[in-house]
Amino acid sequence: MKVKITLIATSLLTSVAFSNLVLADGEKLFQDNVNACWSCHGKDAKTPVLPIYPSLANQKKEYISAQMKDIKSGKRKNGHSVAMQSFMGLLDDKQIDEIAAWIASTAPAKTATAAPKAKEALTGGAKLFQEKTCWSCHGKDAKTPILPIYPNLTGLSKEYILNQMKDIKSGKRANGQSAAMKGVMGLVDDKQIEEIATWLATLK
């Protein structure tokens, strides 16, 4: 009898430990109903419920993880960040890193980038992106940032891009490395911001 009880207890413990192990997986944390990431960003991390919410799938692990930590701590509080902050309290740094690693692993396969056109051949937002030095941090194709902690700008909606540019310009978004970009935002007015956002939103 004693042996039997021990056996049951052991198998219970094992299954609890096992389910924790499964739960520790970044994808499980993203898809569960407690953290509810999927309910705003989409099950595939790239179909947000509102155009003003970001797609996450094109970003590097380092950037995702840094933004999650800043939204959790309140360092990033621009736009709709507060909607997300209330869901972040249950996650520790290790779990945040695990989720970030999973999201980064869903990144679409790299597509070949067409050779950049000569500056003179570019128009509208594409031209401004090169002229106003955006490319120097985000890459000529807007998806090869010079540091993994800098964002990829492809796969995002116009609404989201527009808001972030305006918030970084005004200082409403001041977390992380935003200061690096703020200086450059003095070079673009609202009309130019709109033109750049319109162009960026066409990039996948």
* Shortest distance, position 178 Cβ to ligand HEC, whole Å: 4
Residue with Cβ nearer ligand HEC (67 or 107): 67
Within residues 89-118, the interface with ligand HEC by CB under 6 A covers: 91, 99
Binding-residue pattern over the window 23 to 42 for ligand HEC, x denoting contact by CB under 6 A: -------x----xxx-xxx-
Within residues 160-179, the interface with ligand HEC by CB under 6 A covers: 161, 164-165, 175-178
Residue with Cβ nearer ligand HEC (11 or 116): 116
136 touching ligand HEC, by CB under 6 A: yes
Query: How far lies 167's CA from each of 120, 164, 183, in Å?
Result: 30, 5, 13
Query: How far lies 142's CA from each of 1, 31, 158, in Å?
Result: 67, 29, 14
User: Measured between alpha carbons, how far is 37 from 29 in angstroms, rounded to an integer?
Assistant: 8
Residue with Cβ nearer ligand HEC (35 or 107): 35
> Quick one: which of 44, 63, 89, 7 has its CA closest to 176?
63
* Shortest distance, position 38 Cβ to ligand HEC, whole Å: 8
Give just the sign of the alpha carbon dihedral 182, 185, 190, 192: negative
User: Measured between alpha carbons, how far is 149 from 67 in angstroms, rounded to an integer?
Assistant: 9
Query: How far lies 197's CA from each of 98, 125, 154, 188, in Å?
Result: 31, 7, 11, 12
Binding site for ligand HEC (CB under 6 A): 30, 35-37, 39-41, 53-54, 56, 59, 64, 67-68, 78-81, 83-84, 87, 91, 99, 132-134, 136-138, 150-151, 153, 161, 164-165, 175-178, 180-181, 184, 188, 196
